[in-house]
C-alpha cells in the first residue's frame, strides 16, 4: 500500500484528491457515479451570507480546451446551507470544506463565525479570487492591501483550518502567497479561473451576459502549474494546486512541481468519475515508479537543483 | 432515478434530409427507466473544440432490445462530428438526465408542436401519450420542403400537420400561423423548438387559457446540476434547466 495522505497542520486528508469549488455541487450531484468518501475531500459551492441569484443566462461558453463561466456565485446562502445541506454533507467520511465569499470584510467574518459552529466542517477555503462578482471577490484577491486585510480579519475569528484561494489575475502571484502565509493561512490553494472573454460571431454578441468571465479547463493548465510551482517554492505551508487537471498525469505534474494536494474542477463536468480515476492513477503511478509515499515526489523537481 | 455513464454501441446512423440524422444506440445492460423529455449528455470526440458534452433528447426508446434513438441536427462542430459516427462505433453518454413531460388528464385534447431539431423529443412523447390512450395532434414546422423529415413515425402516434416557412410543404408560415390553431381547442400543449417559436406558442396558449409545457435547450456545462451554467429565470428564481428542466410549464417561466 502506498501512502497517499497529506495534512494541513493536524488535519489529515486520506489522499491528495479534492474536488474544486463550484464544479462538484454539494457532492450529491455525483452520488450516482462515485463514492465521494473515497476522495481526500470536497470543496462545496461558493457560499455567501445571503442568498444570491447569480448572473443572467448565458453564463457559459465553450472555448478551445476549456470553458468560460459567469455563474456569479449563485447559492442559497448560509442559513439554507446549514439547515438543508450540511446535515447530509456531514455523513460523508471525507473532509468537507466550505468555500466562502463576500462583498465586504464583515461578510467574510460573519460567514466564518457561522461555519465555526458546524462541527463536521474542518476547513474553510477563503475565496478572494472570484472574477465573477462586481463587489468583493477578486477585488480582494488582486489588491495586496485588501488581500491582507481580509485574510487577517478571517484568521482572527476562524477556528477551522484556513485555506486561502488565490486569483491568478495578478502580476506577481508570489506576493499574494506571502501575504496569506504571513497573515496565518494554514494552506494556499490556486488557481481560480483566469479572466477571459468570447464573442459569438453568429449572433455578433458577447457569449456571456457579463461579457467577461472565468476561464477553466486544460487551456489554463500551464499557467496554473507555473504559479503553483512559484508559490510552492515561496511558502512553507501546504499548497493545493488546480487548474486544468483532467487526468492523473496532470495531477502528478502539479505534485512534482510542489503541490501537496490537487483539486479537480472542470474535469468533473465531462467525466463525473474524473476525481476517482485521478486518485487511482496517482496510486498506480507511485507503485510503478517504486515509491511508497506520495511525499517522496512532492516538489521533487525543486529538489534536484 | 439512477444516472449512469456508459459507452453505448452505435447500431445505426441514418442520415435524413439536409443536416438531420438519427443515431440508434444499444446498451449492453438493461436500460434504466427513461421518460419522454429526458436527455443524454454525449461525449463527442474529445477534441479541443468539443471539450464539453452535448445534450440531446431521447427520440425513441425500445426497451425490448435495450436500444434508443437520438435525432440530431448539425449546427456546429460537435453535431457535425456526431454525424460521422458509424455502425459499431461507440458513444459515451451520461443518461438519463432531467425531468420529463407530465401526463395530461385522461381524455385531454393534446397538441405537440415542434420546430427544427425540437421535434426530437416529441416522438417518444407521442408514444407515451398513445400508451395512455391519448392521440395528439402533432404540428411540425420546418424551414422548407428540403428539410421536412420523414413523418411516418409521428403519424403512427398522432395526427400530423406541417408548416414550412416558404410553403413548399404543408401550410405556409410558422407553426403559429397554422390554421389548426384557429380551429381546434386544446387542453394541453407540449412544445419544443427554437426559443422564438416556444415563446409564440406559449403566448397563444396563454391567450387561449391552455396549459403549456416547453422543453428548453439552454447551453449546458455539465447536465447534472453541478455547474449552474444552464439556468432559466422562473417564478422561483434561477433554476437549472438540466435538473429542474428541461421541461417547464410556461406558467413557471419568466419570459
Ligand atoms: C436538453 C437539451 C436537449 C437537446 N436535444 C437536442 C436534440 O434532440 N437534437 C439536436 O439536434 N439538438 C438538441 N439540443 C441542442 C444541441 O445540444 C446543440 O445543438 C448542440 O450542443 C450543438 O453542438 P455543436 O458542437 O454542434 O455546436 P457548437 O459548435 O457548440 O455551436 C454552434 C452554434 O450553435 C449555438 N448553440 C449551440 N448550442 C446551442 C443551444 N443549446 N442553444 C442555442 N444555441 C446553441 C452556438 O452558440 C453556436 O453559435 C438539445 C439541447 C438541450 C439543452
Ligand atoms: C462553473 C464554475 C464555477 C466555479 N465556482 C467557484 C466558486 O464558487 N468558488 C471558487 O473558489 N472557485 C470556483 N470556480 C473555480 C474552480 O474551483 C477552479 O479554481 C477553476 O475552475 C480551475 O480549475 P479547473 O481548470 O480544474 O476547473 C468555479 C469554476 C467553474 C468552472
Ligand atoms: S448544465 Fe451544469 S448545472 Fe445544468
Q: Per the domain annotation, does B245 fall within a domain?
A: no
Every domain of chain A and the residues it spans: 6-303
pLDDT in tens, B66-96: 999 999 999 999 999 999 999 999 999 999 9
Residue B253 CA, ligand 2 centroid: distance in Å:
28
pLDDT for residue A184 is more than 80: yes
Let me know if A158 is a catalytic residue.
no
How many structural domains comprise chain B? 2
Q: What is the 3-state secondary structure (H, E, C) of B188-225?
A: EEEEECCHHHHHHHHHHHHHCCCEEEEECCCCCCCCCC
In CATH, what number is assigned to the domain containing residue B136?
3.40.50.80
Same domain, B91 and B167: no
Same domain, B123 and B91: no
Beta-strand runs (E) in A70-204: 95-100, 123-127, 161-165, 187-190, 194-197, 199-200
Give the ligand at the shortest distance from the Cα of A131.
Answer: 2
Q: Report phi then psi at A212, rounded to 5.
A: -105, 160
Same domain, B114 and B209: yes
Mean pLDDT lowest for which of A140-144, A192-196, B144-148?
B144-148
pLDDT for residue A284 is more than 80: yes
> Which of B56, B220, B238 for a ligand 3 pocket mutation test, highest count of atoms within 8 Å of Cβ?
B220
Out of A61, A70, A126, A130, the active site residue is A130
Tell me the shortest Cα–Cα distance from A276 to chain B, in angstroms.
Answer: 14
Report pLDDT for B152.
82
> Which of A202, A203, A270 for a ligand 1 pocket mutation test, highest count of atoms within 8 Å of Cβ?
A202
In CATH, what number is assigned to the domain containing residue B64?
2.40.30.10
In chain A, % of residues over pLDDT 90: 91
Report pLDDT for A246.
97
Report pLDDT for A141.
79
Mean pLDDT lowest for which of A31-45, A92-106, A126-140, B124-138?
A126-140
Report pLDDT for B142.
87
Average of per-residue pLDDT across A181-206: 96
Q: Taking a C-beta distance cutoff of 8 angstroms, is the pair A238, A261 a contact? A: yes
Give the pLDDT band (50/70/90) at residue B53. Answer: very high
Residues counted in chain A:
305
Instruction: Say whether pTM exceeds 0.90.
Output: yes
Residue A292 CA, ligand 2 centroid: distance in Å:
32
Q: Provide the domain limits for residue B189.
A: 110-217
pLDDT in tens, A91-104: 999 999 999 999 88
Q: Per the domain annotation, does B228 fall within a domain?
A: no
**B123 interfaces chain A, CB cutoff of 8 Å:** no
Alpha-carbon distance of B134 to B110, in angstroms, equals 8
Give the pLDDT band (50/70/90) at residue A132. Answer: low
Report pLDDT for B127.
96
Q: Per the domain annotation, does B247 fall within a domain?
A: no
CA distances from B22 to A118, A225, A242 (A): 51, 43, 39
Average of per-residue pLDDT across B150-158: 87
CATH annotation of A6-303 = 3.20.20.70
Q: Which residue of chain B comes nearest to A66, CA vs CA?
A: B51
For residue B227, which residues of chain A lie inside 8 Å, CB to CB? 22-23, 60, 69, 71, 269
Give the ligand at the shortest distance from the Cα of A67.
Answer: 2
Boundary (domain end) residue, out of B97, B124, B157: B97
Give the pLDDT band (50/70/90) at residue B146. Answer: confident
pLDDT for residue A111 is more than 80: yes
pLDDT for residue B46 is more than 80: no
Mean residue pLDDT across chain A: 94
Does B118 sit in the ligand 1 pocket, CB within 6 Å? no
Amino acid at each position: 500500500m502506498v501512502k497517499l495522505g497529506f495534512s494541513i497542520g493536524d488535519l489529515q486528508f486520506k489522499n491528495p484528491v479534492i474536488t474544486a469549488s463550484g464544479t462538484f455541487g454539494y457532492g450529491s450531484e455525483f452520488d450516482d457515479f462515485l463514492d465521494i468518501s473515497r476522495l481526500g475531500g470536497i470543496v462545496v459551492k461558493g457560499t455567501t451570507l445571503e442568498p444570491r441569484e447569480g448572473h443572467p443566462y448565458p453564463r457559459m461558453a465553450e472555448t478551445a480546451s476549456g470553458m468560460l463561466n459567469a455563474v456569479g456565485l449563485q447559492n442559497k446562502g448560509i442559513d439554507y446551507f446549514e439547515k438543508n445541506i450540511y446535515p447530509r454533507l456531514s455523513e460523508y467520511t471525507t473532509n468537507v470544506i466550505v468555500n466562502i465569499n463576500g462583498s465586504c470584510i464583515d461578510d467574510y467574518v460573519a460567514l466564518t463565525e457561522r461555519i465555526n459552529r458546524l462541527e463536521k466542517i474542518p476547513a474553510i477555503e477563503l475565496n478572494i479570487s472570484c472574477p465573477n462578482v462586481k463587489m468583493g471577490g477578486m477585488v480582494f484577491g488582486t489588491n495586496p492591501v485588501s488581500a491582507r486585510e481580509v485574510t487577517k480579519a478571517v484568521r482572527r475569528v476562524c477556528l477551522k483550518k484556513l485555506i486561502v484561494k488565490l486569483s491568478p489575475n495578478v502580476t506577481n502571484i508570489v506576493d499574494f502567497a506571502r501575504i496569506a502565509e504571513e497573515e496565518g493561512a494554514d494552506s494556499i490553494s490556486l488557481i481560480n479561473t483566469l479572466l477571459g472573454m468570447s464573442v459569438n460571431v453568429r449572433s455578433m454578441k458577447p457569449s456571456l451576459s457579463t461579457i467577461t468571465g472565468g476561464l477553466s479547463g486544460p487551456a489554463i493548465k500551464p499557467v496554473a502549474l507555473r504559479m503553483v510551482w512559484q508559490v510552492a517554492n515561496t511558502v512553507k505551508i501546504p499548497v493545493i494546486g488546480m487548474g486544468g487537471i483532467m487526468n492523473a498525469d496532470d495531477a502528478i505534474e502539479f505534485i512534482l512541481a510542489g503541490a501537496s494536494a490537487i483539486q479537480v474542477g472542470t474535469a468533473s463536468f465531462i467525466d463525473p468519475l474524473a476525481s476517482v480515476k485521478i486518485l487511482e492513477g496517482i496510486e498506480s503511478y507511485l507503485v510503478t515508479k517504486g515509491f511508497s509515499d506520495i511525499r517522496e515526489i512532492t516538489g521533487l523537481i525543486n529538489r534536484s537543483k | 432515478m439512477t444516472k449512469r455513464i456508459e459507452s453505448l454501441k452505435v447500431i445505426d446512423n441514418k442520415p435524413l434530409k439536409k443536416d438531420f440524422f438519427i443515431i440508434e444506440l444499444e446498451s449492453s445492460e438493461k436500460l434504466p427507466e427513461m421518460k419522454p423529455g429526458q436527455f443524454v449528455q454525449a461525449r463527442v470526440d474529445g477534441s479541443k473544440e468539443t471539450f464539453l458534452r452535448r445534450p440531446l433528447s431521447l427520440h425513441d426508446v425500445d426497451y425490448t432490445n435495450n436500444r434508443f434513438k437520438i435525432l440530431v441536427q448539425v449546427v456546429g462542430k460537435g453535431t457535425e462530428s456526431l454525424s460521422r459516427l458509424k455502425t459499431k462505433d461507440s458513444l459515451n453518454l451520461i443518461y438519463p438526465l432531467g425531468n420529463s413531460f407530465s401526463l395530461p388528464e385522461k381524455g385531454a385534447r393534446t397538441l405537440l408542436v415542434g420546430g427544427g431539431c425540437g421535434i426530437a423529443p416529441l416522438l417518444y412523447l407521442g408514444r407515451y401519450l398513445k400508451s395512455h390512450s391519448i392521440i395528439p395532434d402533432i404540428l411540425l414546422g420546418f424551414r422548407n420542403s428540403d428539410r421536412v423529415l420523414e413523418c411516418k413515425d409521428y403519424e403512427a402516434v398522432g395526427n400530423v400537420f406541417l408548416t414550412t416557412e416558404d410553403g413548399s410543404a404543408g401550410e405556409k408560415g410558422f407553426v403559429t400561423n397554422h390554421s389548426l390553431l384557429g380551429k381546434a381547442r386544446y387542453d394541453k400543449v407540449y412544445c419544443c423548438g427554437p426559443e422564438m417559436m416556444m415563446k409564440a406558442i406559449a403566448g397563444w396558449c396563454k391567450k387561449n387559457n391552455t396549459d403549456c409545457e416547453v422543453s428548453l435547450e439552454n447551453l449546458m456545462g455539465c447536465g447534472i446540476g453541478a455547474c449552474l451554467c444552464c439556468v432559466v429565470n422562473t417564478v422561483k428564481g434561477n433554476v437549472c434547466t438540466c435538473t429542474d428542466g428541461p421541461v417547464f410549464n410556461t406558467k413557471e417561466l419568466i419570459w
